[in-house]
Amino acid sequence: MNFSTFGPFPLQEWSKKGLREFWLNTDRVQAELGYPPNLDRGIGVYILVAELRSGELVPWYVGKTDKGFGIRFRQHLAGRKLAPLFEMKVVAIRVFVIALVTSAGKLKRKLSAAGFVRSIDRLEFALIGSCLEKNKNLINTKEKVFQKGLHVPGYLNSEPKNYDESAQQLAKMLEVRRK
């Protein structure tokens, strides 16, 4: 399974108009960079990110879609689940889109096999785990309890001060860095 990462794209306003502008702007940026058009029709995983005044990007939500990014974002708009994110005092909200692509780099727009569904599910699961390492207040509820309870010294949900020699070596090998 091949994925391509796009973004981070700024999302100015959490409204129908804001989303329409977001996808139009995203298509313009993609065309300038030589990326495939119509990212809103692509499928895969996305991360909503808060940009802090320091410039740091903090993940707040990881989602997936097998219907199209544009459709999924409109569903979020109707559900109001993500609205609090846009009320935070941050410099900007940004979006990373990780789209399923063909071996030739064209966007996949529909799922043709169960393997594609599994690959999107697994990527979302992995990204939720990685994003939890960066932000313990991630909005996601799916898989979050499991991931928060999973502790592997030197890799996941563990503090370097508690690392024994083996955990230190694992962290070094995996290049895991903790603040």
Q: Per-residue pLDDT for 158 more than 60?
A: yes
Do 106 and 165 fall into the same domain?
A: no
Q: Are residues 170 and 117 located together in one domain of the fold?
A: no
Token pair recorded at residue 162: 């508690």
Number of compact structural domains in the chain:
2
Together in a domain, 174 and 131: no
56, 103: one domain: yes
Do residues 63 and 28 both lie within one domain? yes
Q: Say whether both 177 and 127 belong to one domain.
A: no
Average pLDDT over residues 130-147: 82
Residues 46 and 92 in one domain: yes
**Residues 131, 92 within the same domain:** yes
Residues 131, 169 share a domain: no
Q: Say if residue 102's pLDDT is above 90.
A: no
pTM to 2 decimal places: 0.83
Task: Dump pLDDT digits (tens) for 43-69.
Answer: 999 999 999 888 889 999 999 998 899
Say if residue 19's pLDDT is above 80. Answer: yes
Its domain, for residue 166, covers 149-179
In a shared domain, residues 125 and 153: no
2 beta partners: 101
pLDDT greater than 60 at residue 179: no
Residue 114 and residue 175 in one domain: no
Structure tokens at 105: 């780099």
| Three-state SS at 29 | helix
CB 109 within 8 A of CB 43: yes
CA distance 22 to 41: 13
Both 9 and 36 in a single domain? yes
